[in-house]
Structure 1
């Protein structure tokens, strides 16, 4: 397989050092397609970009890129691998709301997901067990309602959101901060393969691009733009998830946040968002009710008739004693009056049932179930 001449010009322009998406879009608007930009005189280019970038464009126009083109052609020959340009009909229209939409998008998987109703889900890499459970449960609920779940394939909340999204018809899209021929973090390799097979992987970065720190803010703006709303599950006060939420709000997207314990560092970012106007949500239905018009969904919460309410406290008095904050094992021994051996046995049973999580420092936390 070889790249056609038009696509070669798009790729050639993408390799110009220092020419970011905003500058590239400005050149496209002023001069037209990439072939016209690459054939323009350096003096004319210098009126639109800095002199150094104008020089770099002229040098790139003459550069031998046969090896780069061959590598890309080999990648495109793999199943479900595609390269979208701003001029392609399949290019996601929601990204056009950005002041700097990526002129090129590398994609692997089902491009049809880009046209589905979507919600972005973001949060802490160092998530709690409850946060991971919430992310997966909220995402699964959304996907079951044919809403696509967008996230960034990081550890913690992102990975949980993708797992939940892949469990339903809405599926999931991962926007990554590397080239699509690389997986970061490496622990998510199996998840990346599943997303390529059942969902979609997206990147604006060229093949071979490593996981540099500056790549992830660029990735986050795409996550914010692709969803009709952005759900923050857990976030510390300095979390990048808060930046994604702000970008989403600036684009006119709704922002949602799940509250947590006042003592939890990863709840403080969510609480700040709620104070600033984000919608507090306790269930996936809260999101769909808010976005039903934007998502063009006929959504009405389904109620199960004659369902008996869950009564976890009655099933185990220990759960009522624990409350919802993390507690130390020794405190539970004192408060429950149980022996250490008996308490260990009960906690193990509750952990196997998914009602309790063990935490570092010999602590335990009761887990809720998002509806």
Structure 2
């Protein structure tokens, strides 16, 4: 992309509720450089809403210019799906991010990765296990990917850094706002031997709704997801659900039925996740997938044709086998409640979800 094309792509990417599929359709209408210069009536003619037009004409450039300036700094990168460094596995998932901001080694994002996630309030045993497993994965040539959170995430990153490989941290904030603050030094170590990644512009502050969204990137970058410790209602289970939707392997460590932080992992195993007792259990299971990803096979995880045709893949990815209320779906997807309800109606009519007491569940389709 030329600088002018990147500017136009960012302006449109930041436009509210203009998803990746809409962006792709716009490119078939005209060059993006031309589209951002359209008059309001022309933008309206190709489907832009009033608020989108107002943003594009009055605010977008002011948001984009600091990002372009940020990218001029050493080891700072802006990656789009048109760049060779855009991770090929991530590009396979529905609603892949239209832009990635990266600090560190952007080329490592295309290398084989294993995601490790778990409780922020992990036990001492869980933290030690995460660190030792990550170190072994790293020594075996796998990049360990996680979310820089307290607990399991932090220990997984630390273990990978002690090994011989690299680690990737996906943030729910902009890269100039490291969260949690106590992991700033860890983030600096990761930049030296891996990468920090975010779909949010560098100045973005951490917001609760950002973290479920970033989990799809953690799983999307990886050939599999290992849940070390997780409570029944845990962000780690959101990552596992994304992994399942994306066709990735899900692994979980068993734990005591009396430990609240083991209930999530035990439930995953009960639902079909691979039970893990050693790092070798994971390495043996994903060996073939890792070999394929090293070869950068473009269709490593072919999406079912039905999924490719879905109008609302982001929303559908957040509807699982447990009842999910509409307001929770709106919070996870960052889509207004009224639009969520309209999309759910279409998905219900097409047979993909079912309305039940308390919300919606996903319908299994053979």
TM bracket, shorter-chain basis: 0.7 to 0.9
Map 1:174-323 to 2 at 5 A. 174-296=169-291
Which residue of 43, 46, 52 maps to 2:50? 52
Deviations 1:47-77 (A, max 9, x none): 66562355236525x8653x852x3344223
Partner of 1:327: none
Gaps of 5+ in 1: 298-371
1:135-174 pair list within 5 angstroms: 135-174=130-169
Q: 1:95 aligns to what?
A: 90
CA RMSD of aligned residues (A): 2.2
Distance 2:43 2:219 in 1: 32
Change (3 A) 1:17 1:261: same
Q: Distance in 2 between matches of 1:237 and 1:269?
A: 4
* TM-superposition CA deviations, 1:61-99 (whole Å, max 9, x none): x8653x852x33442232211111121111111111221
Shift of 1:207: 1.6
What is the TM-score when the length of structure 1 is the normalising length? 0.73
2:115, 2:144 within 8 Å by CA — same for their partners in 1? yes
Residues 159-217 of structure 1 show CA distances to partners (whole Å, capped at 9, x for unaligned) of 01101111223310000011111110001010011111111000010121011011111
TM-score normalised over the length of structure 2: 0.74
Change (3 A) 1:44 1:211: same
**Equivalent pair of 2:79/2:86 in contact (CA under 8 Å):** yes
Structure 2 residue 110 is the aligned partner of structure 1 residue 115 = yes
| Structure with greater Cα Rg | 1
2:357 maps to what in 1?
none
Please say if residues 228 and 253 of structure 2, whose CA atoms lie closer than 8 Å, have aligned partners that are also in contact.
Answer: yes
2-side partners of 1:47 and 1:248: how far apart?
Answer: 38
Matched residues in 2 for 1:166 and 1:26: separation? 41
Question: More deviation in 242-251 or 40-49?
Answer: 40-49
> How many residue pairs were aligned?
291
- Note the 1:352-367 alignment, pairs <5 A: none
Q: Give runs of ≥4 in structure 1 deviating > 6 Å.
A: none
Is the CA contact 2:15–2:52 (under 8 Å) kept in the aligned structure 1?
no
